[in-house]
Structure 1
Amino acid sequence: MPPLLLLSVTFALGILAAYISRAGSGWVLAAFITAIIMLATAAFFFFQGKRGSFVWLLSSFFCLGFTWMGIDKLPFPPSLEPFLGHYVQVEGVVEGLPTLYPNRMVLVLDTPVVTLEEDRWQGQGKLQVVYYLQKEEAAGKINEADAQLRASLLPGKRVSVDGLIALPPKAFSPGEFDYRAYLERQNIFAQLTAKKITPLGAGERGLSALFALLRLRIENAIHHSLPAEGALFLEGILLGFKGGMTPEDRSIYQRTGVMHLFTVSGLHLGFVFIALLAAANLLKLKRFPTFILVTAGLWGYAGLIDFNPPVTRSAVMATVGLAAYLWQQRPNALNSLALAAFVLLLIDPSVLFEPGFQLSFAATWGIIYLAVPLGRYVSFPLGLREAVTVPLAAQLAILPLAAFYFQQAAAMGMIANILVVPLAGLVVYLGLAGMVLALAVPGILNPFFLTAGAFFYPIRWLLELLSALPGAAFLVPPPPLWLCLLYYISMLVLGWVLREGFTINFPHFRYQSAAARRLFPALLLVISCTAMLFTGTVKKCQGELEVTFINVGQGDAILVQTPKGRTMLIDAGGSPLYSSSTFDPGSQLVVPALAKRGIRKLDLLVNSHPHEDHLGGIPAVLDYVKVERFVAPPVDHPTPLVLKVQQQLKDKKIKASNLTAGAIKLDPSVEISVLWPVRPLLSGSSSDANNNSLVLYLRYGKITFLFTGDLEREALSLLASLNQEGKYPGGIRATVLKVPHHGSASGICQEFAAAVRPQFAVISTGKNSFGHPDKRTIRFWQEQGAKVLRTDKAGDITFTTDGVTLSLQN
């Protein structure tokens, strides 16, 4: 194994150890002193000609990695706490070009000074600023005032910001992306929701500002030359911008395994590298000018992408490989990969924990280590063979990481990449020509961008066709650490067998090398690990009912798993109809929650009523999960979302029906009743859609659950009256109540509460402008003797019962 690779891996392990242990300054100092002693010992052994010098060197690199992470990591400043939750004024320096999303602009301020009346805070660390854009413009566009503001916020610019300062949102549920921890790794301690941003002074004009200016000019030229959807597509391919991607497009790209096309990485830099070499050959440049032209072009392009980890890794490897080729040295791809990793970790050790870094390096390692040996066993013509082995090697290398971070596997990934990557190459080449023209002659209708953007339509059509095929993508549960390690050990063994194995046929016998004799065990190990990745290793205990209130923000999503393994999902969250956010709780929260539990099939999907915050995530669930049956109340509400869901149900031939009061057959051991609505449906109320929500009553042994949708006072009162009249023989008393309408005050009804008398009252809510949950509602249920639980405070809330006892996890 190359020495540089071992040193880089050991350095990374030291960073990992420091992060896990959260070592204080004392441990960091001790690690630094130990590293110096070990380096001196390694040097002594080396110059004395003794063995063991490299072992001492490896140990010192581990301690150096530990030290480097400890130095880079800043603790949260306690003196900032009194400012949190207040409107403050902040002055600071813009760190990078603000990132644009459909409804907001996000930037980072370095060296911030926070002022609250007479109090002032100044210290190390950074703040993230979120500025919400005006909403009247069309999707994909930004109004003139906001565009000018963004153009003025170049790196190095000093600005003043007025807004509300608070801690970033944190993860509550197991496996949920922890945004607060992500920002803390970048030494960003707080988030400022800005009301006003005022540039101050001229600011510094360094390389970062120059690259930002060039990028702005390219972005403007793209949007000037193309309609919104084509412009966003081309920005994604050329500049790695995914902020304006719709949930539908994101789902298609993920299901077909081509999402990497929208993260500028080695593939894109490879196209740039080939174009620059062709230009050098056309100009008949000699060795040194060729090196200058190509490396300047590569690093200039990396600067436009703000030197993200995948593009920086590729630029380092390309620079080293080009130098070795031009000066006729034998290149070592693994050493180049290790050098790139080491450089990135020196710049920012916390990048080790970012999915982009891990996926980029894993895919590149797979291509280097597995692609050529696999090619020996693939009898395809040159070119086609590489088109198969390169994506196959990359897919094999990232499989555990993709399962861990995204909980899905793209079965059509290889075919999609073979078909689409050549087209993406044409887009990149046309885009590069367009970038040169845009920088040279701004403000014109760019023919290269116009042609490149036109490829959006055939590429999307092809990918949409592939993603709609049965089995195009399927959910996989996140694998445990031991399984990931075992999988990569199996990959190492398989690579060694493929590289070193050979067979020689003699007249009377056949000789096989030691590696060749281990081909079958190696394949068996790889297949076994892959099977465990796809099927999962943890199974739910039989004989128990599990009910999980999934934290989807302002909405409902409730998963029921019965003792016999049957599954029911009630609602799937969703964003408000008026919101311009591309966040989709269905694909980003509910589907991963199902995947984490190994659920690929739902026996019953229930929509309590057709409002966006209950129905909005259901299209994603229908895309990723096999659904046997769909039920909803008989409410006429023909919105575009409802029509979309109805079309999906028809296309997938899913049995759908409207329910009123009656029984649902799911599991013989669990009694499920529909209590509401009853015919005739309630009409003329404050909200007929809310008041005709499906109300489900679930009983398992002595434990009962009542799910009330968004019922309001009118319907709750009628439900309580029906109970008093004996309509429900067993009554409606519930151990666990899903509080109606996200804790709205309209859900307070004394008669209903007296009939239910819950031990636990669960409020499914998130950030909203409605004031949910109302303080009066919380106090009301506490006065009824219930323990109030909130998904916005506790995350996912899971109840498990054997029918006699009830346990709570949150």
Structure 2
Amino acid sequence: MAAAVGALVSQSVALRVGEEERIGWAQTLQAEQPVRVALQISTDPRELASAYGARRAAVTVDVTAFGPDQQGMAETTSAVLTGPEGWLEAAPGESVCAVVEPRREDGTVFLRATADPRPAPCVRENPDGERPGSRPAAHGGDGVVSPDAGGGRERLRAAFRDQADGTLGTAGELIPGLVLGDRSAQSPETDQAMKDAGLSHLSAVSGANCALLAGAVTGLLRLLRVNRTAVFAAVIATLVVFVVIVGPEPSVLRAAVMGGLGALALFGGRSRHAFTLLCLAGTAVVVAVPGLATEPALQLSVAATAGIILGARPAEAHLYRFFGHVLPGWAARWLSVTLAVTTCAHLACQPILLAMTGTVSAYAIPANMLAAPAVAPITVLGTAAAGLVLALPPVSAALVWVIQFPAAYIGLVAHVCAGLPGALRPWPEGGLGLVLAVLTVAATAALYAVLLLTERRRHAPVRRQGLSAPRRGGRLTVSGVLVAVLIASGAGGYSAVVLPAPAGQAPADWAVAFCDVGQGDMAVLRSGPERAVVVDVGPEPEPAAACLEALGIARVDAVLLTHLHADHTGGLDAAIALGAPALRHATRGEGVRGLGLPAAAGEEAGTDPPPGSRRLRTGDRESSGDVTWQVLLADEDAATENDASAQILATVQTGRGPLRVFFTGDIEQDAADAWIAGRHEDAAAPPAHAHLYSVAHHGARNGGAALPRAVDADAYVVSAGRENSYGHPHPQTLQVLAPLGAVLRTDEAGTVVVSLEAGTAGAPEHPVDDGTSPAVAQTTARLRFHALSTGPEGGGR
């Protein structure tokens, strides 16, 4: 049977590949050259994050025709398109024309558009009035989709969004997604919270929606004593209407096909073969549309359903035996079922999620358990409300009013769980990550095997006593020991990733650290494994060495000194001890500086340049490992050493995108204002955006407010000593920074270590609480902060 199914799928794929080569689509993908395509929008566009401020969109589309002659596709070809912000206005079902650069990667077609979409059709007419193209398209005889295709669906979705608007809390954002998979109303904050809490699948519409609808229709009709044939027809009709309203998402197609097969099995008296039905449904969908085999939505849908089918019932039985001793029967049953279903689905999906995101949602299981009671009423009543929104708006409004309460509750669960410490944890990279991933998958498979074996074991109806009774316990088999060790190892490795790193230990994926070196500045940029580029080194070698040791740095590639004041240069020996770093410094020109002498009343005396150091000059660009830096301004003619501080924009390449850090040294207000005003013709302008902004002069008032306001940063870092005699940071500076973004202080937090979250290298998000210490309570949804105790006075205060 398995061989037959494999042969069927292989034949389907082979036929598709052969047809793509015949019409030239395969050659077009291989060429990766710009081509004109006719498209139908399949899903709601979503905004992509960008490190440079430009808005980008991603949307799933169906390619219906391509090339100058608009060659029609033999069958629907799904693709993921990215393009400018104009694509954010595209609506599902809309037909558009675009010039794209196509490519195929791991079976998925990607299209990159450089311009906004144009209205269909995109076929030019010949002089005789006929359109070129030898084959009809999959969705229309003229090679393009009808402009009105999907219009009714979009009108319904728009009306339903309007109906949900203004409801309680975040219900207005979530109801369209929970019912119809329409996430366009979700704010970036709510969308990120749902992802971090492991609840984003609820707003994507999946098999659970189909199952709940089919169950509700079946239960209602059986209560009304409707015969089985009518029940079967009603279930099929409900599923068809639901797919039409929601759209042919991969997970919905899988669930609808499985629901139809399940209804047929129930009608035929073979309702217990759930896993067989899942295999049939998955095979049918992949044979019909082979491209869906590479869709993560379908993979996750099948994996979650398989996990529930194979493991939920035996897991629930074991859990009930435990909880039944400490809880009332109804509570033990509910908790056992909910925990078993949630855990089995989560474990089955985790390998796919790891491959997709490289992260683990630490609170996904409890969050889903808390949200579970609210899903059923939203799905059943919400679908009814959506179906009636155009025909009977008052009835639809009444139903929406009812479901706003459970929807707002789900939003509350998402935001609370996402705000907990370490809500989204990165999976380790490299060999360690691979070993842990293999171990986790093996342990999960072993756990399912144990559950299945315990379910299939049959106990004798009569227990034998005496000498003839079988011996129980006290006997361990080699396979049993191996399975136990495997499960324990997998659980231990998984927990090590999920649980937050304890204070005093840097997380494995750290990218930047601002060291607690007392009243001074020091930052460490990770340039590779156990390697770093250091910007300033603080006033003393001991705290600088302690910070480097805590971060596991074995070699310093380069040291950049923003200017030559002792609180930025005094710890240089600690960096030099770790190799022979390239030394760079900025300072006033010889004519105005005078070695060791102040150039202005009250200014601290400058130090001599380190031996072998090279001067940083405006426009310099250098790199070392994963770190690159650009000197935006280094004013050699400045009257003071503070104002000669190099303004450096550094970029750290991480496994999750670039992280940009802006260093200002000790530049003061007048010099910063002159730079912003463009009085330095050879200098680059201050950066429009940076992830991290190192605040000038330890937060002194003379740093001014114009420069931090000119740079859109996610977090502003103030390096200062605890209870210093200068009063740094000044309250006025903190008042300026507070509305701009998160403010982090080494005098309160100790050394602050920063990581970039997966897929978040884009525009700033609103702050969320990481919970690691009072000083890092203000953090952003895109960056993760951790406090270390490395400073001269213990840090971590």
TM-score (norm 2): 0.57
- CA distances 1:309-353 after superposition (whole Å, capped 9, x unpaired): 222222222212222222323431111111111112113333333
- CA distances 1:118-170 after superposition (whole Å, capped 9, x unpaired): xx7868678876675579xxxxxx9xxx5xxx56x745x4x455xxx4537xx
Residue in 1 that maps onto 2:399: 448
Following superposition of structure 1 onto structure 2, how do residues 278-317 of structure 1 map, counting pairs within 5 Å? Answer: 278-281=219-222, 284-317=225-258
Task: Give the secondary-structure state (helix, strand or coil) at the position aligned to 1:667.
Answer: helix
Following superposition of structure 1 onto structure 2, how do residues 369-518 of structure 1 map, counting pairs within 5 Å? Answer: 369-378=310-319, 379=321, 380=324, 381=329, 382-441=333-392, 446-470=397-421, 474-477=425-428, 478-479=433-434, 482-483=438-439, 486-487=442-443, 489-501=445-457, 505-508=463-466, 509-511=469-471
- CA distances 1:368-401 after superposition (whole Å, capped 9, x unpaired): 1111112232224444421221112222322333
Task: Give the secondary-structure state (helix, strand or coil) at the position aligned to 1:194.
Answer: coil
Equivalent residue for 1:167, pick from 86, 94, 101:
101
Following superposition of structure 1 onto structure 2, how do residues 137-176 of structure 1 map, counting pairs within 5 Å? Answer: 150=90, 154=93, 157=95, 159-161=96-98, 165=99, 167=101
Cα offset, 1:276, TM superposition: 1.7
TM-aligned CA distance change 1:407 to 1:681, over 3 Å = same
CA distance in 2: counterparts of 1:696 and 1:122, whole angstroms: 68
Cα offset, 1:467, TM superposition: 3.8
Cα offset, 1:407, TM superposition: 3.2
Residue in 2 that maps onto 1:578: none
CA distance in 1: counterparts of 2:652 and 2:513, whole angstroms: 21
Cα offset, 1:286, TM superposition: 1.9
Equivalent residue for 1:667, pick from 541, 548, 573:
548
TM-aligned CA distance change 1:392 to 1:80, over 3 Å = closer
TM-aligned CA distance change 1:743 to 1:342, over 3 Å = same
Q: Which consecutive unaligned segments of at least 5 residues does structure 1 have? A: 12-59, 85-89, 136-141, 169-179, 537-564, 568-593, 608-627, 635-657, 683-694, 709-714, 753-760, 769-775, 779-795, 797-810
Residue in 2 that maps onto 1:92: 38
CA distance in 1: counterparts of 2:438 and 2:172, whole angstroms: 43
**Contact preservation (8 Å) 1:673, 1:696:** no
Residue in 1 that maps onto 2:269: 328
Residue in 2 that maps onto 1:270: 211
Give the aligned residue type for 1:606.
F
The answer to whether structure 1 residue 218 and structure 2 residue 126 are counterparts is: no
Equivalent residue for 2:622, pick from 726, 730, 737:
737
Report % sequence identity. 17
TM-aligned CA distance change 1:766 to 1:413, over 3 Å = closer
CA distance in 2: counterparts of 1:374 and 1:720, whole angstroms: 79
- CA distances 1:451-486 after superposition (whole Å, capped 9, x unpaired): 434444333223333344456554433545754663
C-alpha root-mean-square deviation of aligned residues, in Å?
Answer: 5.4
Residue in 2 that maps onto 1:138: none
Equivalent residue for 2:562, pick from 676, 681, 689:
676
Give the aligned residue type for 2:450.
L
CA distance in 2: counterparts of 1:212 and 1:426, whole angstroms: 28
TM-aligned CA distance change 1:491 to 1:128, over 3 Å = closer
Task: Give the secondary-structure state (helix, strand or coil) at the position aligned to 1:108.
Answer: strand
TM-aligned CA distance change 1:72 to 1:678, over 3 Å = farther
**Contact preservation (8 Å) 2:347, 2:444:** no
Give the aligned residue type for 1:96.
S
CA distance in 1: counterparts of 2:97 and 2:409, whole angstroms: 45
Cα offset, 1:267, TM superposition: 1.6
Following superposition of structure 1 onto structure 2, how do residues 782-801 of structure 1 map, counting pairs within 5 Å? Answer: none
CA distance in 1: counterparts of 2:300 and 2:288, whole angstroms: 19
CA distance in 2: counterparts of 1:696 and 1:298, whole angstroms: 71
TM-aligned CA distance change 1:203 to 1:494, over 3 Å = same
Task: Give the secondary-structure state (helix, strand or coil) at the position aligned to 1:75.
Answer: helix
Following superposition of structure 1 onto structure 2, how do residues 558-707 of structure 1 map, counting pairs within 5 Å? Answer: 598-599=508-509, 605-606=513-514, 662=539, 664=544, 665-668=546-549, 675-676=561-562, 699=576, 701-704=578-581
Residue in 2 that maps onto 1:783: none
Cα offset, 1:213, TM superposition: 1.6
TM-aligned CA distance change 1:667 to 1:404, over 3 Å = same
TM-aligned CA distance change 1:605 to 1:766, over 3 Å = closer
TM-aligned CA distance change 1:375 to 1:122, over 3 Å = closer
Equivalent residue for 2:171, pick from 220, 223, 230:
230
Equivalent residue for 1:67, pick from 4, 11, 14:
14
The structure that has the greater radius of gyration is 2
Q: Which consecutive unaligned segments of at least 5 residues does structure 2 have? A: 49-54, 124-138, 498-503, 523-534, 597-606, 639-649, 661-681, 685-760, 762-797
TM-aligned CA distance change 1:367 to 1:701, over 3 Å = same
- CA distances 1:74-126 after superposition (whole Å, capped 9, x unpaired): 53428966647xxxxx46253636636596584636344556xxxx7868678
CA distance in 2: counterparts of 1:299 and 1:514, whole angstroms: 56
The answer to whether structure 1 residue 522 and structure 2 residue 444 are counterparts is: no
Cα offset, 1:298, TM superposition: 1.2
Residue in 2 that maps onto 1:364: 305
CA distance in 2: counterparts of 1:391 and 1:108, whole angstroms: 32
Give the aligned residue type for 2:303.
A
Give the aligned residue type for 1:309.
P
Task: Give the secondary-structure state (helix, strand or coil) at the position aligned to 1:506.
Answer: coil
Equivalent residue for 1:197, pick from 111, 119, 132:
119
Give the aligned residue type for 2:581.
T
CA distance in 2: counterparts of 1:487 and 1:519, whole angstroms: 13
**Contact preservation (8 Å) 2:40, 2:63:** yes
Aligned length: 554
**Contact preservation (8 Å) 2:156, 2:389:** yes
Task: Give the secondary-structure state (helix, strand or coil) at the position aligned to 1:77.
Answer: helix
Give the aligned residue type for 2:485.
L
- CA distances 1:503-550 after superposition (whole Å, capped 9, x unpaired): 6653234456999966554333222233344558xxxxxxxxxxxxxx
Residue in 1 that maps onto 2:714: none
Task: Give the secondary-structure state (helix, strand or coil) at the position aligned to 1:737.
Answer: strand
Following superposition of structure 1 onto structure 2, how do residues 765-780 of structure 1 map, counting pairs within 5 Å? Answer: none
CA distance in 1: counterparts of 2:453 and 2:413, whole angstroms: 37
Residue in 2 that maps onto 1:110: 63
**Contact preservation (8 Å) 2:443, 2:487:** yes
CA distance in 2: counterparts of 1:267 and 1:720, whole angstroms: 75
Cα offset, 1:698, TM superposition: 5.5
**Contact preservation (8 Å) 1:359, 1:398:** yes
**Contact preservation (8 Å) 2:652, 2:658:** no
Following superposition of structure 1 onto structure 2, how do residues 711-730 of structure 1 map, counting pairs within 5 Å? Answer: 727-730=608-611
- CA distances 1:476-506 after superposition (whole Å, capped 9, x unpaired): 3354575466345424532333223456653
CA distance in 2: counterparts of 1:603 and 1:763, whole angstroms: 7
TM-score (norm 1): 0.56
**Contact preservation (8 Å) 2:46, 2:58:** yes
Residue in 2 that maps onto 1:185: 107
**Contact preservation (8 Å) 1:631, 1:659:** no
| Structure with greater helix share of residues | 1
Task: Give the secondary-structure state (helix, strand or coil) at the position aligned to 1:92.
Answer: strand
TM-aligned CA distance change 1:519 to 1:283, over 3 Å = same
TM-aligned CA distance change 1:208 to 1:233, over 3 Å = farther
**Contact preservation (8 Å) 2:306, 2:348:** yes
Cα offset, 1:425, TM superposition: 1.9
